[in-house]
Amino acid sequence: MEEKRGVGDSYEFNTKNFIKSFIEVVKTVVIKPEDFYQHMPTTGGFAPPVTFLAVCLGVSGIIAAIITGGNPFIFFKLLIFGLIFSFIGAGVLYLIAQKFFAGKGAYEGTYRVVGYAGAVSLLAWIPILGILAALYGFYLQMVGLEKIHGITRGQAVITILIAVAVYFIFSLLLGGIFLAR
């Protein structure tokens, strides 16, 4: 029987062993997402997944800023908006999983899924690979939602598709509001 590991290994980001833990979590969530989300703690606070996501977004933001001629706004935009939308996105996914599919997971577990799936943002700055990485990020979220909420793979896909539709409609509404002024 495989031993269930906890804080400080490849299933939870640990700032006390920053570099090693970061690399292990990226490697595990990207290469073995089923294993990662099966063993990932669903509680323990928001600090580990928020910090992990901030590092991923920060690295991507720094590289994107350098590529675009050193514009620091790109770095801050990716970091700040990425973190804000991670909380909103987790809330949308949580509500959809709960209301439509009687998901059993809590918001914190859902946020952890979103935060750790953010590992794909490390590749966001690469033109075509960034798009493929974003699609893989949806896959990572699907696997995580399935494990955290105890829903089927199909229900997890539908949850993500509904969330994407909500974002699309919301952005159209926001765009219309700003364009009307």
Which residues constitute the domain of residue 47? Answer: 15-180
65 falls within a domain: yes
105 falls within a domain: yes
112 falls within a domain: yes
Look at residue 171 in the predicted model and tell me its pLDDT: 81
Higher pLDDT, 165 or 73: 165
* pLDDT tens, position by position, 96-144: 999 999 999 999 999 999 999 999 999 988 888 889 999 999 999 999 9
* pLDDT tens, position by position, 19-28: 999 999 999 9
Q: What is the dihedral of CA 112, 114, 116, 119, to 10 degrees?
A: -170
9 falls within a domain: no
> How many domains does the structure of the chain reveal?
1
38 falls within a domain: yes
Look at residue 8 in the predicted model and tell me its pLDDT: 44
97 falls within a domain: yes
2 falls within a domain: no
Instruction: Kindly tell me if the per-residue pLDDT of 4 is higher than 90.
Output: no
157 falls within a domain: yes
* pLDDT tens, position by position, 39-58: 999 999 999 999 999 999 99
